[in-house]
Chain A
Amino acid sequence: MTAPPRSRSLARSVLAYTGLIVVTALVLVPFAWMVSSSLKQDNEVFAVPIQWIPDELRWSNFAEIWERIPLLTYLGNSAFLSVTVTCLQVLTGSFAAYGFSKVRFPGRDALFLAYIGTIAVPWQAYMVPQYIMMQKAELTDTYWSIILLQAFGAFGVFLMRQYYMSIPDDLCEAARIDGLSEYGIYRRIMLPLSKPALASLALLTFVNTWNDYMGPFIYLTSNELWTVQLGLRSFVGQYDAEYAMIMTGAVLSVLPILVIFLFGQRYFIQGIATSGLKG
């Protein structure tokens, strides 16, 4: 009949792996271009036609960039902002999400819809009124402006609420009958069970804050407060740009995110413990 199971699954594995490798290669090409550009001279980066492996590998770019701009300061600032915003977003977001998913009160769904609706508006539309407000509060040119603007987004609330919806209500009911307060349920049941969602929310928030350019650009004027993205753009002049330096910085800037991603992957392998449901 059919081929013996072992060789069939071997063929399938080989096919699957080949497919994965091809897709991975396609996916990594721009990053390869970034790395190759970071090892070039400025006027070679956009030379036509493209030269993937430069004649001369300028490793010195990676040493030079730390002196050209205060990259260490910028990395520290980015890290501070990203971590703070992520923590606040995860905490308040998951907290609010519990209210939206497991507690019933009138107006809940309409309010939630309004929340989601606000994500739909491009930031450019209300950038100026927001700035005026911040300036009146004298918060411009401080970290507070970025933190307050980005830590209380609707995205986190939405993500966590959807995840909580998939946690069976019976668990919460059982806990309520056992006498646990709503806050207790949140802390003892929802949080531990939603680790994958929390991890993905933390990761995505961190990446978005780390890569955010316009927010810090508008609000952080003093050079000591600049983030990595601003520092990289400082290589773009009025009529030309130091592309090699920009790419060097971009490669360095990606590394912390990779570390966090690799580190957070373990949360995507754990499954939910549903043994409490049975019996």
Chain B
Amino acid sequence: MTQPTPAAPPRRGRGRHHILVGWSFILPNFVGFALFTLVPMLAAFALAFLEWDSYGSPEWAGLDNFTRLLGDENFHVALRNTLFYAAGHIPLTLVAALGLALVLNRKIRGVQFFRTAAFFPYITSLVAVAVVWNMLFNPTAGPVNQVLEALGLTDPPRWVASTDWAMPAVIVTSVWRDMGYYMVLYLAGLQTIPREYYEAARVDGASAWQRFWSVTLPCLRPTTFFVLVMLTIQSFKVLDLILVMTDGGPGRSTLVLAQLIFREGIREGQFGYSSAIALVLFVIVLTVTVVQFRINERRSAT
């Protein structure tokens, strides 16, 4: 089983060797990815500079789609709504998921049941989720408002029936839905923390809170980074829940970018325009992700 230790190969050959090896690992996934996802995506981005209704030949449109975008009120409304949704969804889900994972990482009785329960919202039919939460948020008869009134609020928000409070209602529902999903990722991440670290900290006299800050959080950094990036991306892409809960309404108060892309493209047949919106969305998310990458690199270095 043992092999003779090979002499270290010359550095230049080693570099090329590394490139080959690295690519050999990536290739199986990359070929499939490039062919079936990347190429259509690039075609779609190219469409942003064309005008195409999915049937005739595309015509060159240059930056027309983008100027149209800047003047389109629907786009600005959708962008604002999407940003608002992301700003609410990302931190709340992160905290909820981490909290759940921490609580449910112990060997308490019935932990399997509670973990499965936390995951339930993610696998429940969207229609059921929308109906039940709409019922909970019912302005007159719903429990949420009844509790708020009992706490002394005389004029509780009308939630999905009002333009101001529809998006917060959607955010609450989506946090509830996604926390189980990200809890699973955090649970996996928590398994990487060696027990010895905790014991060392305990021996040093650290309290539970201090152990959390000095052991758990730092060791969870790669996982937190992953969760943060995925949350960001998925928040900007949100579509299904909105469609089922409010369909962009009332009015346009919950209209989001992905919905606009879908509407302008498949429904209206303006594929050039919808691709332009998609390209803008992509650039925004990529920028945010790059920033997150840089911050993460700097933090890891310290």
By the criterion CB–CB under 8 Å, are B36 and A247 in contact?
A: no
Which residues of A are found within 8 Å of B219, using beta-carbon distances?
Answer: 166
Contact call A254/B124, Cβ cutoff below 8 A? yes
Per-residue interface assignment for chain A, residues 174 to 214, with 1 indicating a CB less than 8 Å from any chain B CB and 0 otherwise: 00011100100010000000001101100110010001000
- Are A125 and B26 neighbours in the complex by a CB distance under 8 Å? no
At the interface, yes or no: B165 with Cβ under 8 Å from chain A? no
Chain B interface SS verdict (over half): helix
B271 contacts A262, CB within 8 Å? Answer: no
In the assembly, what is the distance between CA of A37 and CA of B141, in Å?
A: 20
Contacts of A29 on B, CB cut-off 8 Å? Answer: 132, 136
B28 close to A159 (CB less than 8 A): no
Bound-complex Cα distance A213 to B268 (A): 22
Q: Which of A56-64, A65-73, A74-82, A112-120 contacts B (4 or more CB under 8 A)?
A: A112-120
A171 CB within 8 Å of chain B: no
Q: Is B195 an interface residue (CB 8 A)?
A: yes
A203 engages B5 (CB within 8 Å) = no
Q: Looking at the complex, which one of A23, A96, A120 makes contact with B29 (CB distance below 8 Å)?
A: A96
Which residue from chain A places its CB closest to the CB of B114 in the assembled complex? A20
CB-based contact A122/B103 at 8 Å: no
**Most A-side CB within 10 Å, residue of B31, B40, B135:** B40
Task: List B contacts of A121 (CB < 8 A).
Answer: 41, 44, 237, 278, 281-282
Against A, the Cβ 8 Å flags (1 = close, 0 = not) of B180-195 are: 1100110111011111
Q: Are A129 and B124 in contact (CB under 8 A)?
A: no
Q: Does B148 contact A (CB under 8 A)?
A: no
Interface SS, A side:
helix
Complex formed: what's the CA distance from A74 to B155 in Å?
49
**A130 is contacted by which of B25, B40, B113, B261 (Cβ under 8 Å)?**
B40
CB under 8 Å from chain B, chain A span 213-267: 246-247, 250, 253-254, 257-258, 261-262, 265
- Determine whether the beta carbon of B289 is less than 8 Å from that of A20: no
0/1 interface trace, chain B 88-110, chain A, CB 8 Å (1 if under): 00000000000000010101100
Give every chain B residue within 8 A of A100 (Cβ-Cβ). 25-26
Q: How many Å lie between the Cα of A200 and that of B188 in the bound state? A: 7
Q: B122's contact among A179, A207, A247, by CB below 8 Å, is which?
A: A207
Closest to B118 in A: A27
Which B residues form the contact surface with A (CB < 8 A)? 2-6, 15, 18-19, 21-26, 28-33, 35-41, 43-44, 47, 54, 103, 105, 107-108, 112-125, 127-129, 131-133, 135-136, 141, 176, 180-181, 184-185, 187-189, 191-196, 219, 222-223, 225-226, 229-230, 233, 236-237, 239, 257-258, 261-262, 265-266, 271, 274-275, 277-278, 281-282, 285-286, 289-290, 293
Known contacts A116-B289, A128-B54, A211-B123, then 7 further A-B pairs from the complex at CB < 8 Å, ordered by chain A residue: A20-B103, A30-B131, A99-B26, A111-B26, A162-B222, A166-B222, A268-B188
